[in-house]
Amino acid sequence: MKFCPRLHPNSRISQVCSQCGSRDLSTPQPKVSVWWKVLSFILRIVVGALLVLLSITLLVNLVSMPQMQNALLGLGILLGLLWWMWSEIPDWLKKVARRALQRKERKNHD
């Protein structure tokens, strides 16, 4: 999507604004490959399932072995950190995809 200075939406291939005729259109964001979307989805599912499995294991061990509570508390903190990192993956993955697309565009222009 491209926008003119008056913020009229136009298609990605437009050269002139369809509403006001301005030739000063913004640069559209790069298209995200289908493969990046699939990779992002799979990565989120796999990491999420792994974290759920680890969480359940941690809870079962906390209940069944009280002598291991200190070690399991440390693992719980690590697991909490992993959950936080997992929640940040989509933004991180978007940055990686954006960089890869920019490199690809530079190679195509050279």
Residue 109 has pLDDT above 70, yes or no: no
Q: What is the per-residue pLDDT across 55-91, written as a single tens digit (0 to 9) for each?
A: 888 778 777 776 777 777 788 888 888 888 777 777 7
Per-residue confidence (pLDDT) for residue 12, from 0 to 100: 83
Per-residue confidence (pLDDT) for residue 42, from 0 to 100: 92
Among candidates 42, 68, 43, which has minimal Cα distance to 57?
68
CA distance 72 to 51: 15
**Mutual angle of helices 34-64 and 69-109, in 10-degree steps:** 170
Scanning 1-110, the segments in alpha helix (DSSP H) are 34-64, 69-109
Helix (H, G, I), strand (E, B) or coil at 33: coil
Q: Which amino acid is at 88?
A: E
Q: pTM of the prediction? A: 0.43
Residue 97 has pLDDT above 80, yes or no: no
Q: What is the per-residue pLDDT across 10-58, written as a single tens digit (0 to 9) for each?
A: 888 888 999 998 989 988 877 778 888 898 889 889 988 998 898 888 7
